[in-house]
């Protein structure tokens, strides 16, 4: 039994009668002691601030699920934004900036009646802060085991919410401090619901930090650089002030990191994306149907075989890490959304037969976002293509039309065609909207289940 299991065993199996009376007496004493100090502290003005936020949060929209108090809305929206691992990625750092930042910005904007244009600006600023903090600790921080979306994400959420709520500079530094000292998330949680909870927590924590700072609750204003701050404690092996120092409030915009933030075209491991791009390009150009295929030959970056070599995966989840499945589904459906990674699709005989025809050869000279693919057909033709930069990489951003396809494939089954189109229109015209409420009213319509 491992150490965590042993603790769980102790918690569950220790009989109450086996706990000695002196230990239970000590338990009473600790209770009396903290009741005393808690009562004595309960009138402090900082408690007023903390209690007020938790009790009188405004109502905010929960995507697909109606409305709730704003802290909860931020938590759930951050969670669902990251759950499929299908959100955006800041390529230089593997930060997913939107899942923590957008929910905090949107909830604050709903409370505040902020205009659409200012809401977009707050996200842009919050996203920039998150990416800059991420750059300041990458790669040491992630390599050490931190889930950077959980830890650094809170800075983005706090920054965006602070901007929406109109905090001054001093309050904003407090908000960053409160977010930065409440920034958890280790990679051991990958593969569990705990991973997406990191993004949800970061969204909630950043919104809370900005709200508390606005009410006079104090936080550490040297959270990055302090002797016991974020850099020293969460990235002791490597951090770099330069990405932060390069920010200058008077002349912003020399560069914006959102340009290095890619949208994922496929809901699976990123190293297989060039292969899917190539198969879909050939399929569409030559109207290839599965039954006519005799082979799919690919020269790939070695990571594809290292991370995603599963010839016949048996579940949808493992299919996401099978380059063979990704290529086969891309040929049959021309896509790689959640629908292509259901358990049923993993067991589909047509896809299984195609998977067996995929041959990938590693070539270390290729880029990670590069591939060469040849599809051999029953009529003897061999159709080849070369993808230099996969869709969604900084060098080849997903076109707007492709994003609309992805949106439609995911949103329409939930909202129906009319509402899904109205929501898309509301997002594209957000800079013209008086506030975000119409957008969020559509996004939070309860799904029919």
287 binds a copy of itself (CB under 8 A): no
d(CA 41, CA 20): 32
Q: Does 411 bind a copy of itself (CB under 8 A)?
A: yes
Residue 407 in contact with a copy of itself, rule: CB under 8 A: yes
Supply the minimum distance, in Å, between the C-beta of residue 39 and a copy of itself.
4
Q: Which of residues 193-232 bind a copy of itself (CB under 8 A)?
A: 193-194, 196-198, 200-201, 212, 217-230, 232
Binding of residue 321 to a copy of itself (CB under 8 A)? no
Least gap, CB of 389 to a copy of itself (angstroms): 17
- Beta-strand relationship, 293-300 and 358-362: parallel
What is the Cα gyration radius of the chain?
25
List, in order, residues 6 or more apart from 433 with CB less than 8 Å away.
115, 116, 426, 439
Which of 113, 236, 295, 311 binds a copy of itself (CB under 8 A)? It is: 236
361 near a copy of itself, rule: CB under 8 A: no
Question: Site for a copy of itself (CB under 8 A): which residue of 60, 148, 176, 366?
Answer: 176
Binding flag, residue 447, a copy of itself (CB under 8 A):
yes
Residue from 93, 114, 149, 182 touching a copy of itself (CB under 8 A): that is 182
Q: Cβ 93 to a copy of itself, closest distance in Å?
A: 16
Residue 352: count of CB within 10 angstroms of its CB: 17
Of 113 and 252, CB closest to a copy of itself: 252
Cis peptide before 139 (omega within 30 of 0): yes
User: Could you give the angle at the alpha carbon of 295 between the alpha carbons of 294 and 297, nearest 5°?
Assistant: 165
C-alpha of 298 from chain center: 30
**The two three-digit tokens of residue 39, written as one number:** 């009562």
Rounded to a whole number of angstroms, the minimum distance from the CB of residue 288 to a copy of itself is 27
Number of residues in contact with a copy of itself, rule: CB under 8 A? 174
Of 74-82, 305-313, 346-354, 364-372: span binding a copy of itself (CB under 8 A): 74-82
Note whether 98 binds a copy of itself by CB under 8 A. Answer: yes
Residue 46 as a binder of a copy of itself (CB under 8 A): the answer is yes
Q: Are 97 and 114 in contact (CB under 8 A)?
A: no
Residues from 126 through 145 that contact a copy of itself (CB under 8 A): 126-129, 132-133, 136, 144-145
Question: Rounded to whole angstroms, how far apart are CA atoms 150 and 139?
Answer: 15
Give the nearer residue to a copy of itself in terms of CB position, either 125 or 296.
Answer: 125
Closest approach, Cβ 370 to a copy of itself, in A, equals 24
Interface with a copy of itself (CB under 8 A), residue from 139, 187, 363, 437: 187
User: Angle of helix 400-415 relative to helix 417-428, nearest 10 degrees?
Assistant: 140
Helix ranges restricted to H, 113-152? 116-137, 140-143, 148-151
Phi and psi (nearest 5°) for 225?
-90, -10
Residue with tokens 């931020």: 74
Q: Which residue number, 40 or 380, has a Cβ lying nearer to a copy of itself? A: 40
Q: What are phi and psi of 333, to 5 degrees?
A: -105, -15
Output the DSSP codes for 364-400. Answer: TTS-TT-EEEEEEETTS-EEEEEESS-TTBTTBPPPH
Q: Which of residues 374-403 bind a copy of itself (CB under 8 A)?
A: 398, 400, 403
What is the pairing mode between strands 293-300 and 261-263?
Answer: unpaired
Count the Cβ atoms, other than its own, within 10 Å of residue 231: 22
Regarding 319 and contact with a copy of itself (CB under 8 A), the answer is no
Shortest Å, Cβ 319 to a copy of itself: 17
Residues 114/173/151/136 CA torsion (nearest 10 deg): 110
Which of residues 36 and 382 has its CB atom nearest to a copy of itself in the complex?
A: 36
Residues 254-283 contacting a copy of itself, CB under 8 A: 256, 258-259, 261, 263
- The C-alpha atoms of residue 127 and residue 155 are separated, in whole angstroms, by 9
Cβ 379 to a copy of itself shortest distance, Å: 38
Binding part of the chain for a copy of itself, among 172-180, 278-286, 312-320, 343-351 by CB under 8 A, reads 172-180
């Amino acid at each position: 039994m491992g150490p965590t299991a042993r603790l769980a065993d102790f918690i569950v199996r220790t009989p109450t009668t086996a706990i000695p009376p002196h230990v239970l007496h000590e338990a009473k004493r600790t209770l009396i002691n903290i009741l005393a100090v808690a009562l004595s502290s309960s009138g402090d003005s900082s408690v007023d601030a903390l209690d007020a936020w938790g009790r009188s949060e405004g109502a905010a929209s929960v995507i697909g699920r109606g409305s709730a108090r704003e802290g909860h809305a931020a938590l759930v929206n951050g969670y669902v934004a990251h759950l499929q691992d299908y959100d955006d990625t800041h390529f230089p750092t593997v930060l997913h900036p939107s899942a923590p930042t957008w929910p905090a910005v949107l909830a604050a904007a709903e409370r505040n009646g902020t205009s659409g244009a200012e809401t977009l600006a707050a996200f842009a600023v919050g996203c920039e802060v998150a990416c800059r903090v991420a750059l300041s600790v990458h790669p040491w921080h992630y390599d050490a085991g931190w889930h950077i979306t959980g830890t650094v994400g809170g800075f983005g959420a706090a920054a965006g919410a602070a901007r929406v709520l109109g905090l001054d500079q001093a309050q904003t530094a407090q908000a960053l401090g409160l977010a930065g000292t409440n920034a958890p998330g280790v990679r051991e949680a990958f593969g569990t619901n705990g991973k997406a909870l990191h993004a949800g927590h970061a969204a909630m924590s950043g919104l809370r930090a900005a709200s508390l700072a606005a009410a006079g609750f104090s936080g550490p204003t040297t959270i990055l650089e302090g002797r016991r701050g974020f850099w020293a404690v969460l990235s002791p092996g490597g951090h770099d002030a330069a990405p932060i120092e390069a920010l200058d409030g008077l002349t912003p915009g020399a560069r914006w990191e959102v340009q290095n933030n890619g949208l994922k075209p496929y809901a699976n491991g990123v190293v297989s994306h060039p292969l899917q791009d190539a198969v879909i390009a050939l399929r569409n150009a030559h109207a290839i149907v599965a039954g006519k295929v005799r082979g799919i030959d690919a020269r790939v970056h070695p990571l594809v075989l290292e991370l995603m070599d599963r010839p016949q995966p048996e579940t949808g989840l493992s299919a996401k890490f099978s380059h063979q499945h990704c290529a086969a589904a891309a040929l049959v459906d021309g896509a790689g959304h959640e629908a292509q990674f259901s358990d049923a699709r993993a067991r589909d005989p047509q896809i299984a037969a195609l998977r067996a025809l995929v041959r990938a050869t590693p070539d270390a000279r290729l880029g990670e976002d590069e591939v060469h693919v040849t599809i051999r057909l029953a009529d003897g033709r061999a159709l080849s293509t070369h993808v230099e930069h996969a869709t969604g990489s900084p060098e080849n951003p997903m076109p707007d039309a492709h994003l609309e396809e992805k949106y439609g494939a995911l949103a329409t089954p939930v909202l129906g065609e009319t509402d899904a189109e109205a929501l898309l229109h509301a997002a594209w015209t957000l800079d013209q909207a008086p506030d975000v409420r119409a957008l969020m009213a559509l996004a939070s319509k309860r799904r029919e289940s």
